[in-house]
Copies of this chain bind each other. A is one copy, B any other.
Amino acid sequence: MASMSDVARRAGVSIATVSRVLNNNGKVRESTRILILKAIKELKYQPSRVAKRLRSKSVSGNLLGVLIPDIKNPFYVEVLEGIEEVAYRNNYALIMCNFGQDDQKERLYLEILQSEGIDGLIAAPAHENDLQLKKMVKEGLPVVCVDRGLKDTDVDVVLVDNVRGAFQAVEHLILAGYRRIAYISGLSTIPSSLLRERGYREALAKYGVPCDPVLVRRGDSKHQSGIQLCGELLDLPDPPDALFAGNNLITLGALEEIHRRGLKIPKDIAIVGFDDMYWSSSLNPPLTAVRQPAGEIGRRAGELLIQRINDPKRTSVQMMLNAELIRRKST
């Protein structure tokens, strides 16, 4: 691959001049600019992002990190897609780090990202109290969090109103006449699990529906735990007549278990999921769900990050997007 000095030699100028036309700064005579442009074209020259990144912290290296807990989760895929969209538009490449809810792996990835000299990071951290990430923020790395924030730390966050979303889901169930409403929660270390539980309780409270503790089950946010916990609920002597599933994967797991038992939705049991999927309408019956605008979360996060890279001092914002209940046929 041709380098800047190749271009310079071919155009009969110094590399500094080449750099100038490349970055459009400094004055360059039109005639030499044309000469250089020609040389660039002829040599098919492409600047090395690596060299640029190494050279100086002061200039953008056009590289962003994305740290997500579980790429199997369609929610994160959509967030990722949103991020990618704005990153690409702004000429940033993306390093993808999927830590699979594994703290150790998250730590290692964070180190790698640092070592890669990324300009900024979008993360859904394992905990609100992620020391390493907090440290990186303090040291000045531009970070924006999605889905969950960082305690006592000044970062941009973009998320959804989990309490309200959950509240709407459960309220909808209550108004439809269900009374024994179960909640399958994801990992209780994740704030959103707790917030959704709060929404669940608030809705029950508001309508005076008693909250039976056996109807609240906590798992690990994954597909398998949806199957497992849904099974436990169904095995109860007095099983629930409706289910509020804490996330995507749990919903899918619960659905699998319900179908396996040959139960009819919503006759035998109703279900509403937190997180919509673009193919929720393909389910049978089509799923009622709380839709987080995942793509927009990603896009917003990307935009905030780029803003922060360009203006590291700007005050941090928390952007709360609205979650909307999509009524289909499962309730």
Contacts and interface: CB of A to CB of B under 8 A. Distances in A.
Interface string A270-312: 0000000011011111100000000000000000000000000
Given A112-B93, A281-B259, A105 B88 contact: yes
A80 B88 contact: no
A45 to B, nearest CB: 10
Contact of A283 (B98, B105, B284): B284
Interface residues of A, number: 54
A259 B278 contact: no
Contacts of A283: 255, 259, 282-284
Contacts of A63: 116
17 contacts: A48-B117, A49-B116, A50-B53, A50-B54, A72-B77, A72-B78, A72-B278, A77-B77, A81-B98, A84-B98, A91-B112, A94-B95, A95-B95, A255-B282, A255-B283, A259-B286, A282-B283
Given A94-B96, A96-B96, A282-B283, A111 B46 contact: yes
A190 interface: no
Interface string A105-147: 1001101111111000000000000000000000000000000
Contact of A93 (B95, B252, B253): B95
Interface in A68-103: 71-72, 74, 77-78, 80-81, 84, 88, 91, 93-98
A47 interface: yes
Contact of A259 (B49, B109, B284): B284
Contact of A49 (B51, B66, B109, B112): B112
Nearest to A92: B112
Nearest to A70: B81
Interface of A: 1, 46-51, 53-54, 61, 63, 66, 71-72, 74, 77-78, 80-81, 84, 88, 91, 93-98, 105, 108-109, 111-117, 223, 252-253, 255-256, 259-260, 265, 278-279, 281-286
A55 to B, nearest CB: 9
B77 A81 contact: no
A111 B260 CA distance: 49
A93 to B, nearest CB: 5
Given A283-B284, A285-B284, A286-B259, A223 B278 contact: yes
A124 to B, nearest CB: 16
A50 B50 CA distance: 6
A126 B244 CA distance: 41
Contacts of A285: 259, 284
Contacts of A46: 111, 114-115
Contacts of A279: 223, 252, 255-256
Nearest to A98: B84
B96 A48 contact: no
Cβ-closest 10 pairs across A and B? A284-B284, A255-B282, A96-B96, A252-B279, A256-B282, A252-B282, A50-B117, A49-B115, A256-B281, A50-B54
